[in-house]
Copies of this chain bind each other. A is one copy, B any other.
Amino acid sequence: MNKQIAIKEIIDFLGVEVIHVFGEIENVFVMSLKPAEYVDAYSLDWIGSLKRNKQEIAEQTKAPAIICDPTVSYTETLKKNHKVLIHVQNPKMSIAMIADRFFIQKLSPGIHPSAFIHPGAVISASAYIGAGCVIGECVIGDDTIIYPNVTIYDNVKIGSQVIIQAGVVIGTDGLGCERKKDGTLIKFSHLGGVVIGNNVEIGANSQIARGALSDTIIGDGTKMNGLCFIAHNCVLGKNVWITGNTMLAGSVVVEENATIFSKVIVREQTRIGKNSVIGMGSVVTKDIPENETWFGNPAKKNEK
């Protein structure tokens, strides 16, 4: 992490995100991103748009370069101290892009010798499979990273540039039951699979169940945090964002760009419309239309 990165290279990488650059960028380098209290003369600093004292933070930073929004002015003080001020559309997103591109240590492709891989599995040479993983007869795409102790059952297809955190289980049997008159539970065995698109992330200890006859589907760019449970035959569109410990019961459909916050339960067979938002801790018992915000137990539309 102690490589010098030219600030010019960072600006080029951000491209259209950059609105304007102030100061002399030649021979300005950074080596790290650090928490506010530890920022030093080798860090790239950034100022979130919601901060109250943005100008003050900029004036006082020890960092040679600052990512911020256009409300921060390039004052005489900044100029005199040879600071580089980079105005961007969304400082938080820019710093996220920079962290991912320049500061995250990438895992080298390969399969850890302690992983157990089904002989019929088809795994891209650029994928990474961590220690203790158990991978069934499935397909894993390019540049996909599977952290340790993940279990993937048979009949799972995973796209490219997917990240699966540790302890995840994909393709497990759902557990729909019918109860006989004597109380005995008859399990509906599941013959379907799971299809996961590209650029998906699945958080630690989450699980995705296989479909009953058809597949459970996770769309491109969808990201869910840890301890989530996607039940059999759910169909998630593109760029759905689910934060932690949320459960979608069987056959839930979530349309693109929906956001579901933490610890939500969505009833089986329910449809969540595109761009809609569900607040944390909600119990969703009916369909939610497009572009609405719902929360509560039971969840209701936010009329504000």
Chain A contacts to B: CB under 8 angstroms: 33-35, 37-38, 90, 92-93, 95-97, 99-100, 103-104, 112, 114, 116, 130-132, 134, 147-149, 151, 153, 163, 165-167, 169, 172-180, 183-189, 191-192, 201, 203-205, 207, 209, 213-214, 221-227, 229, 231, 238-239, 241, 243-245, 247, 249, 256-257, 259, 262-263, 265, 267, 280-281, 283, 285, 296-298
Which residue of the partner chain B has the closest CB to A173? Answer: B165
Which residue of the partner chain B has the closest CB to A99? Answer: B189
Q: Is there an interface contact between B249 and A244, defined as CB atoms closer than 8 Å?
A: yes
Q: Is there an interface contact between B281 and A179, defined as CB atoms closer than 8 Å?
A: no
Q: What's the dominant secondary structure at chain A's contact region?
A: loop
Shortest distance from the beta carbon of A129 to any chain B beta carbon, whole Å: 12
Shortest distance from the beta carbon of A24 to any chain B beta carbon, whole Å: 27
Instruction: Please measure, in the bound complex, the distance between the C-alpha atom of A112 and the C-alpha atom of B151, giving whole angstroms.
Output: 14
Which residue of the partner chain B has the closest CB to A114? Answer: B116
Q: Is there an interface contact between A175 and B35, defined as CB atoms closer than 8 Å?
A: no
Q: Is there an interface contact between A187 and B96, defined as CB atoms closer than 8 Å?
A: yes
Interface centre among A103, A180, A244 (most CB of B within 10 A): A244
Q: Can you name 15 extra interface pairs (CB under 8 A) apart from A183-B221, A205-B207, A231-B244?
A: A34-B213, A35-B213, A93-B180, A96-B186, A99-B189, A167-B169, A167-B207, A177-B241, A183-B256, A204-B209, A205-B205, A207-B227, A227-B247, A243-B249, A281-B283
Instruction: Please measure, in the bound complex, the distance between the C-alpha atom of A175 and the C-alpha atom of B203, giving whole angstroms.
Output: 8
